[in-house]
Amino acid sequence: MDHYTKDQGYPARHDCSQPSLTNRYQPNRFATIVFMLNDAGLEGGELVFPKAINANNHDGIKVQSKAGKAVLYYNVLPDGNLDDLSHHSGDLVVDGDKWMGTLWVWDPIVD
């Protein structure tokens, strides 16, 4: 569980990385689910995907925290390469407290 207060957030990043070439299974976090746990009294703290696009916006996507909302995004493409559109950050909290939980979904290990 993550807790952010006034003037806290996190810098842009990816939730996956290049696994070691010595690990034949090449494990990685292929998906992330972010659970928004509160919104009362919260200003700021949006989840930001600066490179993402949708039908209405080509300048990034911001997701406001709302209790009970979850965001699912894939960190890698179907071929296993990094999906650069999953680059994300947490805007600074302007007022209040932000509570969220993160679940990373890893590639299954195959024997």
In angstroms, rounded to a whole number, what is the distance separating the alpha carbons of residues 81 and 26? Answer: 11
pTM of the predicted structure, to 2 decimals: 0.86
pLDDT band at 30 (very low <50, low <70, confident <90, very high): confident
In-domain check, residue 95:
yes
In-domain check, residue 21:
no
In-domain check, residue 45:
yes
In angstroms, rounded to a whole number, what is the distance separating the alpha carbons of residues 109 and 56? Answer: 38
CATH of the domain at 40: 2.60.120.620
Structure confidence by residue, pLDDT tens digits, 60-98: 999 999 999 999 999 988 887 889 999 999 999 999 999
**Enclosing domain of residue 81:** 2-15+26-106
In-domain check, residue 20:
no
Tally of domains in the chain: 1
In-domain check, residue 111:
no
Distances (CA, A) of 53 to 10, 12, 13, 39, 45: 21, 16, 17, 25, 20
**CB-count exposure of residue 60 (10 Å: 0-12, 13-18, 19+):** middle
